[in-house]
Amino acid sequence: MTDKVGFIGTGIMGLPMASNVIRAGYPVWVFARTQDKALPLIQVGATLCDSPRQVTEHADVIITIVGDTPDVEQIVLGDQGVIEAAAPGKVLVDMTTSSASSARNLATRLSEKRMDMLDAPVSGGDIGAREGTLSIMVGGNPAVFERVKPLFEAMGENVVLVGDHGAGQVAKACNQLLVAQHMYATAEALLLAKAAGVDPGRVREALLGGFAASRVLDCHGQRMLNRNFVPGFKAKLHQKDMRIVLQTMGDCHLDLDGTKLAAEGINRTVDAGYGELDTTALLQVLEARNHLKLS
């Protein structure tokens, strides 16, 4: 029997993800704080609800993909929230990038009502969401994961159960700290080439065949060379994600100075007024410090 699916959050990510779920044949109930944003889904057959609670009453699997950790907590635990209609057999799937500790806490709260939860943040941006090629990092119970997997596969390609509750969010934190540091390194490498009188585009090409190769050098490096700072993934969202990384690091009593440096770089990108640009606008911060333009 096909699960009935609830969707809470219809932003730049949630809208195309929900569209792919509807296209895959799932019946969908939807809630959005700004109801207009759900209209494109209503037009293709989704049913509009007036609260997370109402979504949960109708659906078996309730997907949340909203702004930040407190938004998820409000949707689940707040007035007219998911928990008010929690019931055995239902599953909350939070695909927001939020904190692992919050994911564990919500899982515990829902388990008291015998409702399951998976944390399942994504990587791949709005393009991945539209094309159904997201990477999905999942934390939770293996049997629940297997049940929801076909639904994940309507939205993504690389779907991995990383571990228990919170493990998906931990993997996403690791993802974001790697991307931030790889961006920092890519910008520095391209600037060094430029300053040394060598074509940075040729250097990028030469290095993509060797040990320095990364998806960031490939994709974000080309963006930097093109000065294409149209998001993509906004710097202010990367900043929010790095706050979660630093919080997780602090919770674990770790001192990771590469991560701190990269997070500061993204803070400076937002402070410089580039928060609405793609996170690769970090390049402009490093350019300004070095009095050098890449192209």
* Residues numbered 45-104 forming contacts with a copy of itself, rule: CB under 8 A: 100
Interaction residues for a copy of itself, span 127-146 (CB under 8 A):
135, 137, 139
User: Phi, psi at residue 162, to the nearest 5°?
Assistant: -85, -35
Interaction residues for a copy of itself, span 237-266 (CB under 8 A):
245, 248-249, 251-259, 261-262, 265
Measured distance CA(248)–CA(242) in Å, rounded? 10
One of 90, 172, 194, 234 is an active-site residue; which one? Answer: 172
Question: Whose Cβ is closer to a copy of itself: residue 113's or residue 260's?
Answer: 260
The stretch among 31-39, 63-71, 90-98, 212-220 that binds a copy of itself (CB under 8 A) is 212-220
Q: CA 59 → CA 18, 53, 177, 268, distances in Å?
A: 14, 10, 35, 42
User: Residue 10 in contact with residue 30, Cβ under 8 Å?
Assistant: yes
Under the criterion CB under 8 A, does residue 292 sit at the interface with a copy of itself?
yes
Does the annotation count 172 as an active-site position?
yes
Under the criterion CB under 8 A, does residue 227 sit at the interface with a copy of itself?
no
Q: What is the DSSP letter of 238?
A: H
Place of tokens 């940075």: 200
Using CB under 8 A, pick the residue from 68, 84, 153, 157 that binds a copy of itself.
157
User: What DSSP letter does each residue of 41-74 carry, written as one string?
Assistant: HHHTT-EE-SSHHHHHHH-SEEEE--SSHHHHHH
Question: Whose Cβ is closer to a copy of itself: residue 79's or residue 255's?
Answer: 255
Question: Whose Cβ is closer to a copy of itself: residue 56's or residue 248's?
Answer: 248
Amino acid, single-letter form, for residue 83: I
Half-sphere exposure of 162 (CA within 13 A, CB side): 23
Under the criterion CB under 8 A, does residue 188 sit at the interface with a copy of itself?
yes
Q: State the catalytic residues.
A: 172
